[in-house]
A and B are shown apart, each in its own frame.
Chain A
Amino acid sequence: MAYGAHVAQVRLESVTKRFGEGDDQVTAVDAVSLDIHDHEFMILLGPSGCGKSTLLRMVAGLEDPTSGDVYIGEEWVNNTQPKLRDIAMVFQSYALYPHKTVRANIEFPLKVRGVGKAERAAEAQRAADVLGLTDYMRRKPGQLSGGQRQRVALARAIVRNPAVFLMDEPLSNLDAKLRGDTRAELVDLHRRFDSTFIYVTHDQVEAMTMGSRVAVLNAGRLEQVGTPQDVYDFPASAFVAQFIGTPPMNLLPPGVLGTDDVQVGIRPEHLLLTPGGRLQATVTQIEHLGHEVLLHAESAAGRLVARLAPSAALPAMGDSVQLDADAQHMHHFDATTGVRVS
């Protein structure tokens, strides 16, 4: 059996999820429609409580939508049990069975499906080989590091050869170094397995580096869907503009560099030290990061951040500077709704 023998698209149509009743009712996901293509690595990105995990859990069948439709492939799956959806999920906490060995954990989904012992062992070995777990097969999860446990969780998912992989912040328990390494491995895994990946994260670096496309959620609503570069270059709203990018986009108050009903946004790399520039500011902090310098300045329009080359002639702390940006690098958002105007 080859991994990824089948592919599947996932389609969400006006999916809403509400929790609680009456005055306590909370809308976790609000009329989200999203098409996730075959073999796509789709990232659901947003801050805590934006509904991204709830959305994923509705695809998994662990939560029922209050309204709307979920399709996997061509099949409407609202009433389909999780086990029949041809999906596998990797949880933030890994959800390994602590009393079973690594081998038993990986084999378990196959055992439940009645796969014979020999085939089970072979499949588990193959998954373990892919993820470099061969030496740990006899250990129990408690004897493994966070990164190794995470691999076991992945192995348990891939051994089932699902049409869709669901991942709920799988890297958030790992340290920064390991997170970086594992990001690359997951991208590689996606390339090797002809499956659809849906990946939930609040980490924009993960979103930017791993996703084929990114769906940005805010307060249960879908703000924007696009390639990471599109979302970065053309944020659909002031929220997306500020959420994506480190440091975030400088968002000027209405009326500054534009009309009163428009807010102008400028990415730090596009905010330039320009003699005679329209933004007067005083330098409050200079951060040397090696490959770049971040210049923080206080202006009448609020705090500004400019990204400069380390070789640039830098002002001193407390100096008055003038900053400006090219018109082509200015983003305009409706001052009331936050929606992109141009």
Chain B
Amino acid sequence: MATDTVRGARKVGRYALLVVVAAVVLFPIYAVVLQALKSGPDAFDHPRSLLPVDLTFDTIRSAWTDGNLGHLLLNSLFVSGMVTIGVIITSLLAAYAFAFLEFPGRQALFAIFLATMLVPVEVTVVINQRTANWLGWDNSYQGLIVPSLATTFGVFLVRQVFLQLPKELREAAALDGVGHMRFLYEVAAPLSRPTLGALGLFTFLGTWNAYLWPSQIITDNDHQTIQLGLNKLKTPNDISKFNLLTGGLVVAALPIFIMLVVFQRQLVRGLTAGAVKG
């Protein structure tokens, strides 16, 4: 009986802690969404501004028009989509080579490859910017897309999954006359689908939210991504329109939010795949 009480109290404590943590995480999101749904003056009427009353879509509508968000969203969608497809393809190809092909120096090459993960992006951004500039890729989609088409993380992740595939599958396929490319697209890739889904989702999110690289290479309006474009919604001289930015943030976050909800299972499965041998 006493143990039951202790267990019950522990459970209540645990849940209370979870509620607090959830509140800490969710409150800023709640505040931003609420700000976006208030008219300018209402957004500063504290503490009433934190209550879900007097809601309006006017701010979001203004942000959409003033920031030309439709165009920015399309740009981000295109760039993120292309990078995602590219990363999946390059990760599959490179991971396949590291997992299935025998060649001299394979282990050493992979170690060097992995070591590049230790180099922070800030270190390479200047030289990358110069290279893109030399290629004439400033203010272009290829400038936004090509430097992100291959990632060490992607290759590493897919290689780990490939290494878990039974070697007999490759041998059986070899006996059947299946070449490397066919084995990759007909056997190895389909069997790695959960991981590829998670990789795709991560890549899409990362590209969608990228700010540093796009800010280095894009200066015109045509190629701006949503994250860069939100800058235009800042109104340093008119505090009453501050919540235009929150309206833009909500619009920018919405596609990502929908994706996360839709692919949540895929994401979890991809990250836990292979954790348990089965």
Q: Report A's interface with B, CB cutoff 8 A.
A: 60-62, 81-83, 87-89, 91-93, 95, 97-99, 108-109, 112-113, 160
What are 10 A-B pairs at a CB distance below 8 A?
A: A60-B175, A62-B174, A82-B174, A83-B174, A83-B177, A91-B171, A93-B166, A97-B187, A99-B187, A160-B176
Min CB distance B2 to A, Å, is: 47
Q: Residue on A with the closest CB to B168? A: A95
Q: Is the CB of A113 within 8 A of B177?
A: yes
Provide the B121-148 mask, 1 if CB < 8 A to any CB of A, else 0.
0000000000000000000000000000
CA distance A113 to B187 in the complex (A): 16
CA distance A109 to B173 in the complex (A): 8
Q: Is the CB of A89 within 8 A of B182?
A: no
Q: Give the residues in chain B near A112, CB-CB below 8 Å.
A: 176-178, 182
Provide the B35-58 mask, 1 if CB < 8 A to any CB of A, else 0.
000000000000000000000000
CA distance A88 to B171 in the complex (A): 11
CA distance A112 to B174 in the complex (A): 11
Given A82-B174, A99-B187, A99-B191, 11 other A-B contacts at CB below 8 A? A60-B175, A61-B175, A88-B175, A89-B175, A91-B172, A95-B168, A95-B171, A99-B190, A109-B177, A112-B177, A112-B182
Interface flag for B169 (CB, 8 Å) = yes
Interface centre among A62, A88, A160 (most CB of B within 10 A): A62
Q: Give the residues in chain A near B182, CB-CB below 8 Å.
A: 112
Q: Give the residues in chain B near A113, CB-CB below 8 Å.
A: 177
Q: Is the CB of A97 within 8 A of B169?
A: yes
CA distance A62 to B175 in the complex (A): 8
CA distance A91 to B170 in the complex (A): 12
CA distance A112 to B181 in the complex (A): 12
CA distance A292 to B178 in the complex (A): 52
CA distance A147 to B174 in the complex (A): 24
Q: Is the CB of B172 within 8 A of A95?
A: yes
Q: Give the residues in chain B near A87, CB-CB below 8 Å.
A: 175
Q: Give the residues in chain B near A81, CB-CB below 8 Å.
A: 174
Min CB distance B249 to A, Å, is: 41
Min CB distance A304 to B, Å, is: 43
Q: Give the residues in chain A near B187, CB-CB below 8 Å.
A: 97, 99
Min CB distance A136 to B, Å, is: 19
Provide the B184-214 mask, 1 if CB < 8 A to any CB of A, else 0.
0001001100000000000000000000000
Q: Is the CB of B177 within 8 A of A89?
A: no
Interface centre among B172, B178, B187 (most CB of A within 10 A): B172
CA distance A99 to B169 in the complex (A): 12
Q: Is the CB of A108 within 8 A of B176?
A: yes
Q: Residue on B with the closest CB to A153? A: B172
Q: Is the CB of A83 within 8 A of B168?
A: no
Q: Give the residues in chain A near B178, CB-CB below 8 Å.
A: 83, 112
Q: Is the CB of B168 within 8 A of A109?
A: no
CA distance A113 to B179 in the complex (A): 11
Q: Give the residues in chain B near A60, CB-CB below 8 Å.
A: 171, 175
Min CB distance A311 to B, Å, is: 50
CA distance A92 to B166 in the complex (A): 12
CA distance A97 to B168 in the complex (A): 10
Q: Residue on A with the closest CB to B178? A: A112
CA distance A99 to B185 in the complex (A): 12
From B166, B169, B172, contact of A89 by CB (8 A): B172
Interface centre among B168, B169, B182, B191 (most CB of A within 10 A): B168
Q: Residue on B with the closest CB to A94? A: B168
Q: Residue on B with the closest CB to A99? A: B190
CA distance A109 to B174 in the complex (A): 10
Min CB distance B179 to A, Å, is: 9
CA distance A246 to B191 in the complex (A): 44
Give the 9 A-B residue pairs with the shortest CB-CB distance, closest first: A83-B177, A95-B168, A95-B172, A109-B176, A91-B168, A99-B190, A82-B175, A112-B177, A82-B174
Q: Give the residues in chain A near B177, CB-CB below 8 Å.
A: 83, 109, 112-113
CA distance A82 to B170 in the complex (A): 12
CA distance A88 to B172 in the complex (A): 9
CA distance A157 to B84 in the complex (A): 39
CA distance A91 to B171 in the complex (A): 9
Q: Residue on B with the closest CB to A109? A: B176
Min CB distance B107 to A, Å, is: 15
